[in-house]
Amino acid sequence: MAAFILVPGAWHGAWAFEAVVPLLERAGHTVHALTLTGLRPEDDDATVATTNLDTHADDVLQLLDRARITDATLVGHSYGGMVIAAAADRSGGRVSRLVHLDAYVPRDGESCWSSTSEGYRAAFVAGAARTGHAVQPPIGGDPRRRPHPLASLLQAIRLTGAFAQVPRREFVYCSGWEDRTPFADLRSRLQADPGWQVHELPTVHNAMREDPEAVAALLLGESVADASTQGRAARI
């Protein structure tokens, strides 16, 4: 049975995966949904101000230690793709599968800031205007969202090459918001990379909220994965 670690995107907590978790557990798997440091209800302003990408990677690594997981599947949504990439690179081989769910897939030296669109960069700046260190969530959406630590969005990732050695690496492209997605170029890049498997879901960005059954099926390797395309096949 697999050990899934689910990492949410900016402003979100473990609750973002609340509809997916029971579907994975029902299939017999162990599931840990994380709320990252700086986004927990008990976190004070000083914690938010000092939290960066390294902090969030450590959240995942500490869970691997506590739960004694040696064969993890890391699932990262949106910004969470930065987190699982950093954690996998530092995990000492304890990660066997990565699933970037409509998420950033960074190269060494990139950040969420450098990888995203001008629209999102403008939203980060506007959202951080009040405190200078915490990005307020966009208007609308789930009221459980919390201000996101700005430093985690700005910090450049440092990858040693271990991230690229994870045996199974997957990217899920959500096509239901193609007019606004920052991931179209990333999809093309990964489709041309034989080390990656690219899937597509017809949902908007928060696929695990819109269609948790499809997300769970993909993670479980069920029928929805049959519609995926592999980088090598894309070039044939």
Q: What is the CATH number of the domain that holds 100?
A: 3.40.50.1820
How many other C-beta atoms lie within 10 A of the C-beta of residue 97?
A: 18
Q: Which of 78, 91, 115, 152 is catalytic?
A: 78
Residue 32 pairs in a beta bridge with 5
Is this prediction's pTM over 0.85? Answer: yes
209 pLDDT higher than 90: yes
Per the structure, the count of domains in the chain is 1
Which residue, among 38, 40, 185, has the nearest Cα to 104 in the 3D structure? Answer: 185
Sign (positive or negative) of CA dihedral 150, 151, 154, 157: negative
Cβ atoms of 9 and 16 closer than 8 Å: yes
- Distance between CA atoms of 11 and 63, rounded to whole angstroms? 20
Domain span at 23: 3-234
**Is 78 one of the catalytic residues?**
yes
Query: Where does the pLDDT of residue 70 fall: very low under 50, low under 70, confident under 90, or very high at 90 and above?
Result: very high
Taking only the tens place, the pLDDT of each residue in 134-173 is: 999 999 999 999 999 999 999 999 999 999 999 999 999 9
